Structures are given as C-alpha cells and as structure tokens.
Structure 1
Amino acid sequence: MSWPDARVQDIAVAHYGKALKKEHRDETGNYSVFGSSGQIGKHSDFVADFPTLIIGRKGSVGEVIWAPEGGWVIDTAFYLELLDHEAIDLRYLFYALKRANLSAKTITTSIPGLNRDDLYDTQIPLPPLPEQKRIAAILDKADAIRHKRQQAIQLADDFLRAVFLDMFGDPVTNPKGWETERLEGLVKVVSGATPSKSNDAYWIGDFPWVSPKDMKSVEIRSTIDHINQVVFERENLKKIPVGSVLIVVRGMILAHTVPVGITAAEVAINQDIKAFISSGGVLPEFLLWFLLSQHANLLSKVTTAAHGTKRFDMADLLNLPVFVPDIEVQRKFVSIARSYKATLDELDWSHKGARELFNSLGQRAFAGQL
C-alpha cells in the first residue's frame, strides 16, 4: 500500500524558539524549558501553550522531541504548530520525522545547523487520519518496551556507580584520602573530526564513527554513522583503540548531561568528543567510573561559548584531580565491573531486540505493511 507524500510546509508551521538565559528562568514555574536536546529546566512562562514537536536547529541538530504540554522553546530549536488537526496526527508526525533523519540535512558552517527551508521540504507519507492514529498507537507500545529495557540498563549502571563510591568514596571530596594526580598526567588526549560530507565515498564503509548521539550507553561499540577506511589516509582523523574513555566536550546536551563512555571496539570520533587513553597510572575502566561517579561536578565545569554552545574548557577539565589507588585495588574494582558486565550484556541484548522490533515496525508502518 502506498500513500501520498506531504511536505512539512503543507502540514505545519515551524516557529523559531525564543532566547531565555539560564539566569532568567524560574525553576519553580509550571512550564518546561526545551532546547535542541530536550527538557533543560522550568519557567513561569511559555512560547507554545499547545502540544508540539520540537526540532533541534543548533546543537543536537535534527533531534525530534515530544512536548505534549508545550512550554518555552529556546532559540536552538524550532517548534511545530499543525495547520489542520483533521489531516495530521501529531504523534504520527513525531515518528515520521524521527524516521526522516533530519540530522542528515545539517548545514556545515562554523556552527552546524538545520535550515527551516530544508525542514519544510522534508516529505513524509500521509495515510488517512485513522491509519495515522493506528500506526502511532502501535509504535507507542513498541517504544514503551524499548524504554523499559533502557531503564533496566540504567539501573545496572547505577549499581556499579554505587560499588565505586563504596570502595573509593566521593571523587570530589576524597574522604578516604587517596593520592591524586591531575587528569592531564594520566592520559593521552585524542581529538576527533568530521570527514568531508561532500565526499560520499567517505561515508560508505563499516568503520564506526562516534558522535554525541551515540553516547547513550556506558559501552561504546556500535554507531549510527560509519566511514570508509580510506578516510584515515586522506584526512586528519585517528583510530581510537579499545579501552579508551570518551567524553562529550561540546554541544547543547552539556546543558544537562555529560555523556561519558568507554570503547568496546576500535572507533573514530567527531570534533565534539575527546578520547582519553590511559598512560598506565589508572586502568581505563577505573577512570570511566571515576568520571561517571561525579556527574554533578563535571556539569558544574561546563561553560558557554560566545555563540551560545555549551562546552568544556579543556585546560580546566584536564586539571581535574583523579584518585590514583594502588593498581591492585583498581583491579579489584575492575574485576567486579567485568563480572557484572555479563548481566549488562544480557540487558543490552534485550534492549537491542526491543530497538530492532521498534525499527522493524516503523519500517513496515511507513511502507503501509502493518
């Protein structure tokens, strides 16, 4: 079954968000504040008092966020207002735009972003309204299963964080008096880059290329984007070895989250991520959980660049004092983490199965095969 396509311009108006600095927000307010990566605070006023979809314009470009109660949308994002509620179901549009991969429409300038004309030109299949509602309901159920699996993985991660704190204490206050060394003296720092988007051959390959959108789990193995091995011969891009700790150092996600992970496969990284390769003083998995166990402290070190993007000052980050317990004590924690990893792996496979089910249903739904 095939359905006619409709352009976003024909079914919705894309409004620009309005600037709202953090110091001007009212965190006791009733309305959520949204940026390009999701909900980032509260406020007493709104720019949209209706259910809407928020589209990342800068920062997390192309991210599609469900905002059923509206709220204040800052100027790193668009928000959509339907032209005709009898022609399009908002929840269906949410899934359709996620499937449209708006991030692929990024304009590569000094500050990558999504142009509103490109958003407007995006086409989605438009079945009759009852069919839209049916598809949305099916995908909602599949998505709920996927989120439950993700929550189970998060609980497992929380367990290891608790084990780390029990063995070593708070990384910020160091109550057990461990010797410390600056992060800079314990790791080799490797930067990333984005291969030229104008060379299609660079993006036809199987080598994982990590961007912040892949940093959603502690173990980094698979990625959304892949590149060709020839990139390493022609561009200034390095292969990051297994056991490297990755941290996002630039992007609007740093307004509320500092993604940290460890490579379980050889990867490349983009320019918004740094890789820390241990020089031997600390074990990689120990360093990983040392960083994960002080999220609030890391978040407090995030600054704002002149153009509004969130970022780390690398000199400040590399000045971070790191526990350096005896290597055998580190190995004891790593042994616990690795034995527990079997449980994590089972949960991860369960999550992958739920994700594959969701993706399969989405593919069939938008092809008219459900």
Structure 2
Amino acid sequence: MKWKIASLGEVATIERNGIDASDIVPGTEFLGLEHIQIGGEIIGSQRVENGEISSTKFCFGKSHVLYGKLRPYLAKIALPNFEGICSTDILPIAPGPNLDRRYLAYYLRQPSMVDLANSRSTGANLPRLSPKVLETFQIPLPPIAEQRRIAAILDKADAIRRKRKQAIQYTEELLRATFLDMFGDPVTNPKGWDVKTIEDFTRGKNSIKRGPFGGALKKDCFVKNGYLVYEQYHALNNDFEFGRYYIDETKFEEMKAFEVHPGDIIISCSGVYLGKLAIVPEGARRGIINQALLRLTLNKGKMSNLFFVYHFSHENFRSKFFGDNRGSGIPNFPPMSEFKQFPFIVPPIDKQRQFEDRFRKIQACKEQEHKSLIESDNLFNSLLKRAFQGEL
C-alpha cells in the first residue's frame, strides 16, 4: 500500500514558545529530561515554586508530542496528559489536522528513526538534534482514521511491554527492600555497623580516579575503532555493549591511568544522572573513562561491589551525599577531598556476601523477566516496522 510521504515540518509545528523564568506561575508543572524514561514514559514532574526556575522554558499541552533533542539515541519521546513547561532540550511538537499525535510518537520512536536522529545530531559530548533537521524527517501519511487504527493496535502491544517492565521494577524494589532489611538505613545506621571512609575499602593508589579534563579528549582524538571511551550512558544504562567513541593505542597509553577493568565501578559525576553507577562486567571492552565519570576499584575482601552499589544508591544516602551539589546550575559530584571523607557503613564481609546470595536468587527471576521483555521488544519493533509499511 502506498501512502503520501511528507516532511515533519509540513504536517506538524515545533512550537518553541519560550516563557521567561519571571513569568512562570508557582505551581506550574515542569518536565526535564530526567522525568522521561528511555522510550518515552513520563515518570514524574516537578511542581515549580517561587524562584526555582532561573532560565527560559518551553510551554506544552496535552496536544503535543515532546521530543528530547539531547542525546536522541535515548528516544525520550513522550505524550503528556497535562499542561506545563519543559526544558529547552525538549521540543514540543504540535501535529496538524492530518497527523495523529500517537501515530507520530510511535513513528519517531521506532529504531530506524532513532538511529536517523542520532546520526544527524551534532556535538561530541552532548549530541543534540537541530529542530530544523527534525523538520526534514519524512513521515508516511495514511488517512487519519488509518493512523488512529494503527496507533490503537500499537497501544495494545505497548501495554504488554509495559507490564514486563513493571515486573522487572518489582524485582528491583524487592532487592532494595532486602538491603534495608539486612542492613538498615545506611545514613542513620540503626544496626550499629562499623563506619569507614572510601579509602578504607579501596585498593590503594589509583583506585579512586576521576575522569580526565575535557580538553584531554577532544573530537580529533576519536577513531572509528580501538579502545572504548566509557561515558555516562554506560553508568546510566548498565549497557556495556554500547560503543560510540574510541581512541587509538597511542592515546590509550597516554591516558592509561584512566583505564577501566572488569570489576571496577563507574559513577556518573554530573548532570541529571549524577550518582548513577554500574559494575563493569567480565569481558567488557578495554578502554578509559571520560571526564564525566569516576572509577572505583574496591578491595573485595572488605567491600562487596553489590553492597556498595545498593548502599550508594539508597535514597537517604543520595539525598545526604548530593544534597548540596544539585543547585540551580548543572549538578556536579562533590570534590574528591569531600568524597574521601564521607562515611559508609561496613558490615562484616560475610554479611555482605549473604546479601549477594539473596541478590543472585532474585536476579535470576529478574533475568527471566528481562528475557521476556526482550522478546516483547523484538515483537513490538517488528510490529512498528510493519505498521509504517502499511502491512497491519
């Protein structure tokens, strides 16, 4: 079946209607990229109080598709059901009368369009897609009734995927509850565990390493293949198959102090993903951390990687640790001198290993759910492709 093809700019409008910070009414809902999950689900918002917003934002409503232009490979493309303001890294798209907004959102979320957006973005460390480039993207236009039929079918298929994701979230909640039951709140320490600082349970020299200055990894350093440059994406998504930037052997030897090894922990040090962390798995590609990461190498005889991850990720610990470093600008990791003095509870290693055993049992259930989610994702992506080829 052949449908008319149009550019996005012909059938929709990217409405960058800015509102000055001084004109924002207290109580207005604010959406940042941190409020939109990969794939587009909105997971919250911030109700603005007096003086909290210091820069211009965009306005949006229930008729818009919200498109995250920063790091477009994350596919943060959302359908809000409320009015509010958003970061200027989110583009409000208003579909015209011949374009259904759910149809548009599904079209932009499909892997081929996400790949296209990523390939057309600019900026090495903070890639962004230009609105003018987005307006050139081609979209098939069946009759509006057919668009709505396609969107309704995709809604049902997407609901199955979301249930799989919820099951995975439940296992993660169970793991956090298990940690709390075994060790208590790591800030108030109701169980009276020993308290130590980070240098007491790392492996000595270079075991606490902040990434290099940004100038050490300029765009002209990168090659098509070689040693991987680990970035915030890896810490955020725990995805060590992903690779975007590489350096050659000469540059790697020059920056070997920043090398990543299996069993290390990498932590995001800036932006909305401040404090997100992941354990580098066995078999991970050899490489270095970039300027936005911190690398830790723990002494496994004193501190379990898994225990550290759940300790560091605990809500109260994060609130205390990062509380003074969020501010109105870009949130940043505290200075290393401060980090090295921060108190951590350190239960006996045998107790930590008991937590690891429980973790593995719960993780086995989580991995089974994850396999089911992958199958659902594959089926959904196949359905997306067929939908926009007129085969549904």
Superposition TM-score tier, normalisation by shorter sequence: 0.7 to 0.9
* Residues 36 and 54, structure 1, Cα contact 8 Å, conserved in 2: no
Please state if 1:360 is matched with 2:382. Answer: yes
Instruction: Say if 1:18 and 1:213 are closer, same or farther in 2 by CA, change over 3 A.
Output: farther
Which one has a larger percent strand, Structure 1 or Structure 2? 1
Q: Tell me, yes or no, if structure 1 residue 322 matches structure 2 residue 339.
A: no
SS in 2 for 1:291: helix
TM alignment of 1:211-290, pairs within 5 A: 211-212=232-233, 215-216=236-237, 220-221=238-239, 223=241, 225-227=242-244, 231=248, 234=251, 240-253=260-273, 259-265=276-282, 266-267=284-285, 271-280=291-300, 281-290=302-311
Q: Deviations over 1:270-301 (max 9, x none)?
A: 65443433233311111111122234445535
Residue 47 (structure 1) aligned to one of 41, 59, 66:
59
Give a deviation string over 1:91-129, Cα, whole Å, max 9, x none.
111111223223443321786433221222222332322
Matching residue of 2:85: 72
Code of the aligned partner of 1:42: R
Q: Paired residue for 2:30?
A: 33
Answer whether contact 1:139 1:362 (CA < 8 A) is retained: yes
Aligned residue in 1 for 2:132: 117
Q: Structure 2 CA distance, aligned partners of 1:171 and 1:95? A: 42
- Cα deviation, 1:50-99, whole Å, max 9, x if unaligned, reads 421122244778621221333222333221122x22x1000111111223
Distance 1:41 1:96 in 2: 28
The alpha-carbon distance between structure 1 residues 36 and 90, as it changes in their structure 2 partners (threshold 3 A), is: same
Q: Deviations over 1:242-288 (max 9, x none)?
A: 3333333223355xxx5333334515666544343323331111111
Q: Which runs of 5+ in 1 are unaligned?
A: none
What letter is aligned with 2:308? L
> AA paired with 2:6?
A
Q: Secondary structure at the match of 1:51?
A: coil
User: RMSD of aligned C-alpha atoms?
Assistant: 3.7
Q: What's the counterpart of residue 357 of structure 2? A: 335
Q: For 2:312 and 2:128, locate their aligned partners in 1 and report how far apart those are by CA, in whole Å.
A: 30
Q: Residues 190 and 129 (structure 1 numbering): CA distance in 2 closer, same or farther, change over 3 Å? A: farther
Q: Does 1:310 align with 2:331?
A: yes
For residues 49 and 10 of structure 2, what CA distance do their matches in structure 1 show?
32
CA contact 2:235–2:276 (8 Å) conserved in 1 = no
More deviation in 337-346 or 41-50? 41-50
Q: 1:290 to 1:208 in 2, by over 3 A?
A: same
Structure with bigger gyration radius? 2
Q: Assess if the C-alpha contact under 8 Å between 1:14 and 1:116 holds in 2.
A: yes
- Cα deviation for residue 152 of structure 1 reads 0.9
SS in structure 2 of the partner of residue 107 of structure 1: coil
The answer for unaligned runs of 5 or more in structure 2 is 36-43, 51-57
Post-superposition CA distance 1:27-59 (Å, at most 9, x none):
xx4x53212343431259993344211222447
From the superposition, tell whether residues 251 and 105 of structure 1 become closer, same or farther in structure 2 (CA, over 3 Å).
farther
Structure 1 stretch 13-22 or stretch 323-332: which is displaced more?
13-22
1:92 counterpart = 2:103: yes
Distance 1:40 1:169, change over 3 A: same
Residue 222 of structure 1: how far off its partner (Å): 5.2
Deviation readout 1:127-158 (Å, 9 max, x if unpaired)? 32222222212221222111111111111111
User: Is this contact kept in 1: 2:235–2:278, CA < 8 A?
Assistant: no
SS of alignment partner, residue 226 of structure 1: coil
> Against the structure 1 CA distance between its residues 351 and 192, is the aligned structure 2 distance closer, same or farther, given a 3 Å change threshold?
farther
The verdict on how the C-alpha distance between 1:302 and 1:67 changes in structure 2, with shifts beyond 3 A counting, is farther
TM-score (norm 1): 0.79
Amino acid at match of 2:333: F
1:10, 1:189 → 2: CA distance?
52
**Alignment partners' CA distance in 2, 1:247 and 1:300:** 17
Q: Distance in 2 between matches of 1:123 and 1:106?
A: 16
Percent identical among aligned pairs is 28
Task: Determine if the alignment matches structure 1 residue 159 to structure 2 residue 164.
Answer: no
Provide closer, same or farther for how the CA distance between residues 117 and 210 of structure 1 changes in structure 2, counting only shifts above 3 A: same
Q: 1:341 to 1:207 in 2, by over 3 A?
A: farther
- Cα separation, partners in 2 of 1:303 and 1:103, compared to 1, 3 Å: farther
